[in-house]
Amino acid sequence: MEFCLIGAGFIGPVHAANIAVHPSARLRCVVDLNREAAERIATKYGAQVAPSLEAALADAAVDAVVICTPPRSHAAIIEASARAGKAIFCEKPIDLDLAKVDACGETLRRTGVPFFVGFNRRFDPTHQAMHVAIGKGEIGRPEMIVVSSRDPEISPPDYVKAMPYGIFYDTMIHDFDMIRWLTGHEPVDVYARTAVMLDEKTNPVRDPDTAMVVLTMADGALIHVNSSFRAVYGYDQRIEAFGEKGMLVSRNQQPTGLERYGAEGIRQDPLHYFFIQRYAAAYASELDHFIQGVAARAPLAIGFDDGRRALAIAYAAMESAKSGRPISLDA
Amino acid sequence: MEFCLIGAGFIGPVHAANIAVHPSARLRCVVDLNREAAERIATKYGAQVAPSLEAALADAAVDAVVICTPPRSHAAIIEASARAGKAIFCEKPIDLDLAKVDACGETLRRTGVPFFVGFNRRFDPTHQAMHVAIGKGEIGRPEMIVVSSRDPEISPPDYVKAMPYGIFYDTMIHDFDMIRWLTGHEPVDVYARTAVMLDEKTNPVRDPDTAMVVLTMADGALIHVNSSFRAVYGYDQRIEAFGEKGMLVSRNQQPTGLERYGAEGIRQDPLHYFFIQRYAAAYASELDHFIQGVAARAPLAIGFDDGRRALAIAYAAMESAKSGRPISLDA
Amino acid sequence: MEFCLIGAGFIGPVHAANIAVHPSARLRCVVDLNREAAERIATKYGAQVAPSLEAALADAAVDAVVICTPPRSHAAIIEASARAGKAIFCEKPIDLDLAKVDACGETLRRTGVPFFVGFNRRFDPTHQAMHVAIGKGEIGRPEMIVVSSRDPEISPPDYVKAMPYGIFYDTMIHDFDMIRWLTGHEPVDVYARTAVMLDEKTNPVRDPDTAMVVLTMADGALIHVNSSFRAVYGYDQRIEAFGEKGMLVSRNQQPTGLERYGAEGIRQDPLHYFFIQRYAAAYASELDHFIQGVAARAPLAIGFDDGRRALAIAYAAMESAKSGRPISLDA
Amino acid sequence: MEFCLIGAGFIGPVHAANIAVHPSARLRCVVDLNREAAERIATKYGAQVAPSLEAALADAAVDAVVICTPPRSHAAIIEASARAGKAIFCEKPIDLDLAKVDACGETLRRTGVPFFVGFNRRFDPTHQAMHVAIGKGEIGRPEMIVVSSRDPEISPPDYVKAMPYGIFYDTMIHDFDMIRWLTGHEPVDVYARTAVMLDEKTNPVRDPDTAMVVLTMADGALIHVNSSFRAVYGYDQRIEAFGEKGMLVSRNQQPTGLERYGAEGIRQDPLHYFFIQRYAAAYASELDHFIQGVAARAPLAIGFDDGRRALAIAYAAMESAKSGRPISLDA
C-alpha cells in the first residue's frame, strides 16, 4: 500500500516512521505547505515531496492518505481524497465544524472509500485489555468510568488560538471516544466546567487549560473525565471502569521500571513524557489495522460515525462550559 | 475524662473501645433505647447503663458525650448535652435539618461547650500527610481534586429510608469536608448526578446508590467526587490532589502486604472491607485529639461551622441531583 | 496475669506498653540495674520498681516474666524464673552460649513452666498470611526462599562488642526461625560470607555489618538470607517463597500510602524506620498469644526447641563465615 | 551492513527480524543444518539460504555474521568467521570448553575482527538505567546485589543433555555478566548449591533445575543469584543493588498495566512469559549497538574477555555445586 502523508508537522513524522517499517506499506509522497518539513520526512524515508495536494491525489500509485494537517483543513482534504478514491486515515477530529463534517460524511458515503479516524488510544495494549475484560463481563455492566487525561504542556499559542476549547476538541475528544467504545453506549447529557490555571506567559490565549466533565450515558452509567495542560510528572493517562463485579484500572506507564530507595523515600520514573512515547505501540498498531483492514476490504474499527459523535460530545461540553448548564445530546 | 456514650449501635462500639484503652479516658455510662446493645458495651468496659439520656446528662461525673445515634436525633441531643455543660463529640452529620442545625449552633455558641464533629478521615495518617504536603506547597495551589469514596455495601433498608439521599448526607459528606480541609476554600457551586444501580432486593428503597459530583471552589479549583454502595473489592478510599507542581495521591490500604504470583497473574488482598478496618487508626486519633483538646481548652480541629458547611454542600448536591442543574452555594 | 518486666532498655518499653493496654494483663513490677530506666517505665504504667531480681521472683503475685536483658544474661534469669515457677516470655536469643542454653532447657523441662521465645516476626499479619498460604499448598512445597533482613543502623559499640557476629545472633536469628516455620524443615548445612562495609566511625568494633547466607534444607529446598546494618531507606523486611505453583511475597511496609508525583518522578515514603514501627502489631499479637496460651495451659507457638535451633544455625553461620566453608548442621 | 545468520532455531528468528527492520542492515543469507528452518527465515526477509557455512563465509558481500547455533559449535564458527574477516555477533556462551574459547581468543586477537557477545540484558532500558545510576554514585559503591533469574520452563531434553549444568552456562551466565558490569569488579570466589525439583517427566535428564549462588567480589561486595526452570508466573528477572546511600531495584515487567479489582483481591497480569517478550527492546538495541559500533570502528560494549570471564564463573559455579565447597576464581 502506497501512502501519501498530508501534513508533516506534529504527529506526521510518527505515522511516516510507522509506514516505513510496516512490511506491507511504503511512503510514496509527502505534502505540506512547509516544504522544508515535507522534505525532511521525504528524504528520511526515500519518498517524494508532492508539489501540491492536487498533484498527490492525482497520482494513481497513491492508495491511501494519512491526514495530519490542522483540524480546520480536514474536511476539505477528506472530500478531495474521497473523490480521488483514496483510502483515508484521518487524525482526530474529523474537523471542527459540524456542518462541514456532515457534508464530508455525505461524500464518504457516496464514494465508499475506506475511512478511519485515528483515535489511537483504542489500540493501546492496556486499554485494549480493559475493553476485552469488559466485553467478557468481568465487572458486569460499567456503572461508573473515571478518566484522567492530562497533558504535560499546552500547545503553542497559534495552535491554541486556532482551536478554542481545544481541551475538549483536541484532548478529551479521545476520552469521549474511549467512553463510547468501552461502554457501548451513547451519552445523553454532558456537564463541563473549565478553568484557566496557567499564567499569562504559558497560556497567553487564556483558553481553558483545566477541565472537568460529567457525562450521563443512555443506560444511566455515570462518567467523569478530567484534564489539564500541565501535568509536570508526565502524560497522565488513566481509566477506571467500575461495575457490579469489580473495577478495572488501566494504569499509567513509565519509561523504565527502576525503583530508587533512599533516605528521602522510594522514587520511580515520572510517567512517559507525552503521547509520542506513551502511545508508540498504539500508533503502530492502528496503522497496521488500517492497512490490513483496507487490504481485506474489512470494516475499520473507527469510522466516520465514531468521529462525528466524539466531536458532537466535545461541542456539547464546550456549550456546557460556556453556559454553566448541562447540555443534552441527541441519541 | 469520663464519657457517656449515646448510641450503642453502628460506630458506638468503636468509640467505646477507643475510650477504654485511652490513658486519660474512662467510659462511665452508655445510653441506648436498645437496652441490650447498651448493656453489651457497658459490661465489656466496666461502665453503667444509664436509665435515660436525662439521667446521664444529670450525672455530674460525666465530662463528655459521644453522640452516635441516628442523624435525625442529633440536634436534640446536642442541645441537651450543651445545656448540661458537657463537652460534645458528635458523629457526622450534625443533623439532617439545616434549621435544627442552626438552632443547635445558637445553643453551642451560648453555652460555649467544646464541640467536635467526627469527620474521622481528617485523622487518617495518609490523608494527613497529604494535608501537610499541600500546606507546604509541594504541589502549589490545588487545581483539581479527584475523590473515590465507595462503600462495599448499602445500609439496611430502614436506615436508607430514614435518610434519603444518604449517598450525599452520610457518605460524601466526609468528602465534602475533606475538600474544604485540603483546599482551604469553600465551593461556590455543585453539580450532581445519581443512579440506582443495585437491584430491587439489595436496594428495595430505590434511593440513589451511585453518584458523581463536580464542585467549583471559590478560587476556581475543580473537584470531582464519585461514590457507590457496592464496591465488591472493599472500601475504596482514594484522594488525588493535582496542582502546578505535581500530584499527591492518598492510595488505598489493604489488610496485608502479601503478593501471590501464579499462572493467572499477581494477586494482592482486596482492600480493607469497610470504614471500621480502614480508619481504625483515624478513630483512635480523633478521640485522642478531642480528649487532649478539651483538657487543654484548645480549639478543636473540626467545629460546628465545619459540620454545618459540609451539610449544606450535601443539601445542594441533593438539590442538583433532583433538578438536574448545578446549584450555587452561599459564601 | 501480673507481669514482671526484667530489663527496661531496648525492647522493654514496647512490652510494657503492650502489657498496659492488654485487657487481661497488668505490669506489676520492673527490674533493671539501671534504676532510672526501671522507674521511668514503672511510673508510666503504675508499676513498682523491684529492688532485685530475687525480690521480684519471690513475689507470689507475679505470674509471668518478660526477659529483655542483654542476651548473655538470659540463661541465668530463665533458670531462676523457672525455679520460681513463673511463666517465661524471653526475648531472642535464649542465650549466646549453647551449653548454658542446654542447661536452661533441662531446667525448663524439669519445672514445666510455660516458655516462649519472642520471635515476633511470626506474628506479623503479612508474614502470617504467607504461612497460611504455604500451609494451604498455594505454591506447593517451597523450593527457594529469599529473605532480605536489613537494619537502618548498627547497634551501639558496647552492644556490638558484647555479641560478636551479632548479624547472625541478633538479626538473622529471626530469619533462621522464620525459615524453619515457613518450610516446616530443618537446614542441613549453611554457608555464610560477611563483610565490614561501614566506616571506622560508624562501626568501630569492626564486627561484620553485612552478610549473605545460603542454607540447604533437609528436603533440598534452597534458602538465601541477606543482611546489612545500614539500609538508609528504612527497615527492609521482605520474604519471598517460591514453589511449583508460584511465589508468595511478603513485601515491605511504609508509614503512609502517600504518593508524590513531580517532575523528578513518583515518590513514596521510605520504609518504616525500624522494628518498633514495623512490627508494632506483631509485638502486641505475640504478647496476646502468650497471655492467652498460658491462661489456657495451651502449648505456645514458639518454644525452647525453636529458640535453641535458631541459635544453632546462627552459630553454624558464624563458623562458616570464619572458616570460609559450608558447615553441616545436625538433624 | 549485510548479515549472514548462522543458526535458524531458538533466538535466530529474533535477530533476523531485528536485522530486517534496521535501517542500516540487511539479511543476506541464512545457514542451518535444518534447511527448512533456514528457508522459513530466508523467505520471510528476502534472503538466500546459503548452501554451507563455508559458502556463506566466502561471500564477500557478507559483512557480519550472527551466530545462534548450539553452544558447542560456537568456537569453530567464530574461528572460521574471523579468518574470513567477518564482524562477529555471537550468542552467549562463547563456547562450553574453556580451552577452545582461549584458542578462539587467540584467533580473534590475530585477525582483529569486531567481536560481540550477545549478553542482551545489558541493553534492557531498566537494567541500563540501574547501570547509569550506579555510575553516578546514587547508591555509593554496591555492597550487595541480589538477582532473581527464573525461567518459566526447562529446555527440551536434548538441549539439556547437550549442556550439563545449563542453569549456570545458559541462564546464570547472563547474571554473572551483569554483576561484573554493574559492580565493575571481578568475583574472587563462588559458592553454589543446586537441586532437582522438577519431576521425572518434566526434567528426565535430572540436570539441576534450581540453583542458588553466592559470589564474593574483589572489593568485598556480596552477590546472590537464584534461578529456577519453572516460574509459573512468567519470566522473573529482578536485580537489586544495595549500597551506602540506598538501593536500586530493576523490577519485573508485564505485558499490560491492567489491574482487576474483585472480591477475591486485586489482580495484575503475570510477568512477560519469557525472554523473547521481556527483552524484545534489548535484542533490537544490542543489534543496533553492534551495527553502529562496527560501522564506526568503535570498541563494542561486550567483548571476548567479557564472554570468557562470565564462562569461567559458570564453570566455577558448577565445580562448587559438584564439590559442595566454594571455588576460588583467578583475578
User: How close B251 gets to chain A, by Cα (Å)?
Assistant: 13
Q: Tell me which chain A residues have a C-beta less than 8 angstroms from the C-beta of B148.
A: 146
Best of A224, A239, A325 to substitute, by most chain B Cβ atoms within 10 angstroms, is A224
Cell reading at C244: 511449583
Sequence-distant (≥ 6) Cβ neighbours of residue A51 within 8 angstroms: none
For residue A276, pLDDT over 90 is answered with yes
Cell of D27: 539479511
B226 inside 8 A of chain A by CB: yes
Strand partners, D237: D149
Chain B positions touching D263 (Cβ under 8 A) are: 232-233, 270
The number of beta carbons lying within 10 Å of the beta carbon of residue B157 is 13
Instruction: Quote the mean pLDDT of chain D.
Output: 97
Q: Position of cell 511510673?
A: C43
DSSP letter for C167, please.
I
Q: What is the pLDDT of residues D213-265, one digit of tens each?
A: 999 999 999 999 999 999 999 999 999 999 999 999 999 999 999 999 999 99
Burial degree of C237 (CB within 10 A; 0-12, 13-18, 19+): buried
Chain C CB contacts of B246 below 8 Å:
260-263
Q: Does A99 touch chain C (CB under 8 A)?
A: no
Q: Quote the CA–CA distance of D268 and C330 in Å, as a whole number.
A: 43
pLDDT of residue D72: 93
- Cβ contacts of A184 within 8 Å, gap of 6 or more: none
Residue A171 near chain D (CB below 8 Å): no
Query: How does DSSP classify residue D271?
Result: P
d(CA C65, CA C81): 7
Shortest Cα distance from D248 to chain A (angstroms)? 5
Judged on CB neighbours under 10 Å (0-12, 13-18, 19+), A51 is exposed
Cβ distance of C249 and B255 shorter than 8 Å:
no
CB contact under 8 A, C195 and D324: no
Strands A327-328 and A265-268: unpaired
Cβ distance C59 to C49 under 8 Å? no
Average pLDDT over residues B207-232: 98
Could you report the per-residue pLDDT of C240-288, keeping only the tens digit for each? Answer: 999 999 999 999 999 999 999 999 999 999 999 999 999 999 999 999 9
For residue B66, which phi and psi values (nearest 5 degrees)?
A: -115, 115
From the list A126, A133, A257, which residue is nearest D126 (CB)?
A257
- Read off the pLDDT of each residue in D164-185 and give the average, rounded to a whole number: 98
C residues 299-328 lying closer than 8 A (beta carbon) to D: 324-326
Q: C touches which chains (3+ CB pairs under 8 A)? A: A, B, D
**What confidence score (pLDDT) does residue C116 get?**
98
> C156 in the Ramachandran plot: left (φ > 0), alpha (ψ -120 to 50) or beta?
beta
A70 vs chain B: nearest CA distance in angstroms? 29
pLDDT of residue C331: 60
Q: Is D305 helix (H, G, I), strand (E, B) or coil?
A: helix
| pLDDT class of A23 with cuts at 50, 70, 90 | confident
Determine which helix (DSSP H) or strand (DSSP E) holds D236, and give its type and residue range.
strand D236-243
Q: Which of B139, B144, B172, B203 to mutate to test the interface with A (most CBs of A within 10 A)?
A: B144
Partner residue facing B270 (CB), from D265, D268, D270: D265
Assess C265–A contact: CB distance below 8 Å, yes or no: yes
Give the one of C144, C150, C236 whose C-beta lies nearest to D226's C-beta.
C144
Question: What average pLDDT does the structure give for chain B?
Answer: 97
Q: How many CB atoms lie within 10 A of CB B135?
A: 10
ipTM value for the complex: 0.95
Q: Is D223 exposed, middle or buried (0-12, 13-18, 19+ CB in 10 A)?
A: buried
Q: Does D250 touch chain A (CB under 8 A)?
A: yes
pLDDT over 70 percentage in chain A: 100
- Where residue D264 falls (left for φ over 0; alpha for ψ -120 to 50; beta otherwise) is alpha
Measured in angstroms, the CA of D325 and the nearest CA of chain C are apart by 6
D21: pLDDT strictly greater than 90: no
Count of CB atoms situated within 10 Å of the CB of C99: 9
CB A225 within 8 A of CB A213: yes
Distance from CA of C271 to the nearest CA of A (A): 7
Determine how many CB atoms are found less than 10 A away from the CB of residue C104: 26
Position D9 confidence tier, pLDDT thresholds 50, 70, 90: confident
Residue A110, C-alpha cell as written in the block:
457516496
CA separation for the pair B137, B131 (Å, rounded): 10
C259·B252 Cβ contact <8 A: no
A265 touches chain C (CB under 8 A): yes
Q: Do C258 and B248 touch (CB under 8 A)?
A: yes
Residue A281 exposed, middle or buried by CB count within 10 Å (0-12, 13-18, 19+): middle
Say whether residue C268 is in contact with chain A using an 8 A CB cutoff: yes
| DSSP string for C274-291 | SHHHHTHHHHHHHHHHHH
Taking the C-alpha atoms of residue A237 and residue A250, their distance in angstroms, rounded to an integer, is 8
Closest Cα in chain C to B242:
C261
Tell me how far apart the alpha carbons of residues A84 and B276 are, in angstroms, rounded to a whole number: 67
CB atoms within 10 A of CB D331: 7
Any chain C CB within 8 A of the CB of A268?
A: yes
Rounded CA gap, C173 and C307, in Å? 9
Distance from the C159 Cα atom to the nearest Cα atom in chain B, whole angstroms: 33
pLDDT in tens, D295-330: 999 999 999 999 999 999 999 999 999 999 999 997
Q: Is the pLDDT of residue B107 over 70?
A: yes
Q: Which amino acid is at D11?
A: I
* Residue that is written with C-alpha cell 540447604 in the block: C216
- Identify whether the C-beta of residue A227 lies closer than 8 Å to the C-beta of residue B242: no
Alpha-carbon distance B226 to nearest alpha carbon in chain A (angstroms) = 8
What is the phi/psi pair of residue C125, to 5°?
-55, -40
Cα(D120)–Cα(D280) distance, integer angstroms: 9
Give me the pLDDT at residue A21, please: 86
Check pLDDT > 90 for residue D104: yes
Using a CB–CB cutoff of 8 Å, tell me whether B218 touches chain C: no
**D270 in contact with C, Cβ within 8 Å:** no
Using 50, 70 and 90 to split pLDDT, how confident is the model at C330?
Answer: confident
pLDDT digits (tens, 9 = 90+) for A133-173: 999 999 999 999 999 999 999 999 999 999 999 999 999 99
Distance of CA A177 to the CA centre of its chain: 9
What burial letters (b/e) apply to B249-260, b meaning 16+ CB within 10 Å? bbebbbbbbbbb
Q: Report whether B210 contacts B195 (CB < 8 A).
A: yes
| Averaged confidence pLDDT in chain A | 97
Evaluate the omega torsion of the peptide bond into residue B142 and state whether it is cis, within 30 degrees of 0. no
Q: For position C120, what pLDDT does the model report?
A: 97
Query: Looking at the predicted structure, is the pLDDT value of residue B331 above 80?
Result: no
Q: Establish, for the pair of chains B and D, how many residue pairs have beta carbons separated by less than 8 Å.
A: 50
- Does the pLDDT value for residue C230 go beyond 70? yes
Query: For chain A, give me the number of helices (H) and strands (E)?
Result: 12, 15
- With CA atoms as reference, report the closest residue to D281 among D68, D57, D51, D127: D127
Ramachandran angles phi, psi of A274, nearest 5°: -160, -170
State the Cα–Cα distance between residues B196 and A20, nearest whole angstrom. Answer: 51
A231 contacts B242? CB cut-off 8 A: yes
Chain C positions touching A262 (Cβ under 8 A) are 232-233, 270
Helix axes C98-111, C74-83, angle to 10 degrees: 10
Residue of B nearest to C130 (CA): B258
Cis omega (within 30 of 0) for bond into D255 = no
CA distance C294 to chain B (A): 22
Strands (E), A272-317: none
Query: Can you tell me which residue has the cell 440513589?
Result: B208
Q: Which residues of B touch C253 (CB under 8 A)?
A: 257
C-chain residues near A273 (CB < 8 A) = none
pTM exceeds cut of 0.80: yes
Q: In this structure, are residues C182 and C101 in contact, taking their beta carbons and an 8 Å threshold?
A: no
Residue B224 touches partner A, C-beta closer than 8 Å: yes
The answer to whether A261 contacts D249, with C-beta atoms less than 8 Å apart, is yes
Work out the minimum CA distance from A124 to partner chain B, whole angstroms: 20
Q: Which of D139, D172, D209, D214 to mutate to test the interface with C (most CBs of C within 10 A)?
A: D214
Kindly state the average pLDDT of the residues C215-240: 98
Q: Which residue has the cell 491526514?
A: A67
Q: Is B255 on the interface with D (CB under 8 A)?
A: no
Q: What is the pLDDT of residue D233?
A: 98
Q: Does C43 touch chain A (CB under 8 A)?
A: no
Residue pair C214/C190 in contact by the 8 Å Cβ criterion = yes
What type of residue is A314? A
DSSP state, residue D187: E
Residues from chain D that touch C229, judged by Cβ atoms under 8 A, are: none
Q: How confident is the model at residue A26 (pLDDT cuts 50, 70, 90)?
A: very high
Closest residue to B261, CB basis, from C129, C246, C263: C246
Read off the pLDDT band of D157 (50, 70, 90).
very high
The size of the B-C interface in CB pairs under 8 A is 75
**Before C93, cis peptide (omega within 30)?**
yes
Mean per-residue pLDDT, B230-246: 98
CB C115 within 8 A of CB C107: no
Residue of D150, D191, D221 lying closest to C191 (CB–CB): D191
Judged by CB atoms closer than 8 Å, whether chains meet at A258 and D138 is answered as no
Instruction: For A50, list phi and psi in degrees, rounded to 5.
Output: -75, 140
CB contact under 8 Å between C191 and D326, yes or no, is yes
Instruction: Collect all residues with Cβ–Cβ distance below 8 Å to C135 and sequence separation of at least 6.
Output: none
Is A233 an 8 Å CB contact of chain C? yes
Q: Which residues contact D236 (CB under 8 A, 6 or more apart)?
A: C247, D148, D149, D150, D252, D271
What pLDDT score does C98 carry?
Answer: 92
Tracing cell 481541551 back to the chain, one arrives at A167
C257 touches chain A (CB under 8 A): no
A209 Cβ under 8 Å from any chain B Cβ: no
